[in-house]
Amino acid sequence: MLEALERAAQDAAVRAVVFTGAGRAFSSGADLKGGVELGPEGKLNVLGQLREAYNPLIARVRTFPKPVIAKVNGPAVGIGCSLALAADLIVAAESAYFLLAFVNIGLGLDGGASLTLPLRVGHARAAEMAFLGERVSAAQALEWGLVNRLASDDQLDAEVAELARRLAAASPDALQTIKRTINSRLYAGLAEVLELEATLQQERVESADFIEGVTAFLEGRPARFTGTGGR
């Protein structure tokens, strides 16, 4: 995806970018059943994954010189939700929902959500979404200001296409200037937030609470968190 963005940045014919999910979900987040492998000491190299893969993508979405639309066609979960939050505009299908479930497995936020979420919905709602780890429906997301537009599932493609056409018809220099000036104040600390999230997330994945959270998820039971730090 990062490579695709770089190609689009250099292509003058590309005036706006839309990204969406390739299946029923926009993004289901980390695959806890098949994608999380613990090492001999029960540790996972989240720091490296965030620094090398996810954070550069999140940062590039914000610095990309053209408008970026997140077409949220289904559930946007975990760092997939964080990716949507980094976009300039979010259009969601009625059946979509947003979920930052990190707390449910003993983790903190990542993917820049510590900054991008409160910028969109304010501190009170950001804290509720992050601390409780509950689903936010597309309708609720619209009411909160998390998304820009809501479309019925069968009209999502048409709604986003029309929005993209309007952006493509606008002055590309004007749009770049607007995004640059918005970034200059609101997102000035994004790099620092991404690094802090990554560093603290590594501490979390080395904790007993993370092991318990993942184990409880796989076993289909409530987690019993102790807050005892590392294993």
Number of domains in the chain: 1
Residue 229 lies in a domain: no
Query: What letter does residue 147 receive in the DSSP assignment?
Result: S
pLDDT above 80 (res 39)? no
Task: Give the structural domain span for 182.
Answer: 2-154+173-219
The predicted pLDDT at position 35 comes to 52
Question: Among 22-31, 65-74, 130-139, 183-192, where is mean pLDDT lowest?
Answer: 22-31
Strand residues in the chain grouped as ranges (E): 17-20, 68-72, 76-77, 89-93, 97-99, 136-137, 149-151
Q: What are phi and psi of 156, to 5 degrees?
A: -60, -50
Whether residue 222 has pLDDT greater than 90: yes
Give 14's pLDDT tier (boundaries 50, 70, 90).
very high
CATH number of the domain encompassing residue 95: 3.90.226.10
Q: Is residue 124 part of a domain?
A: yes
First to last CA, the chain: 36
- The alpha carbon of 200 is separated from its chain's Cα centroid by a whole number of angstroms, namely 17
pLDDT digits (tens, 9 = 90+) for 117-162: 999 999 999 999 999 999 999 999 999 999 999 999 999 999 999 9
Q: Does the residue 163 lie in any domain?
A: no
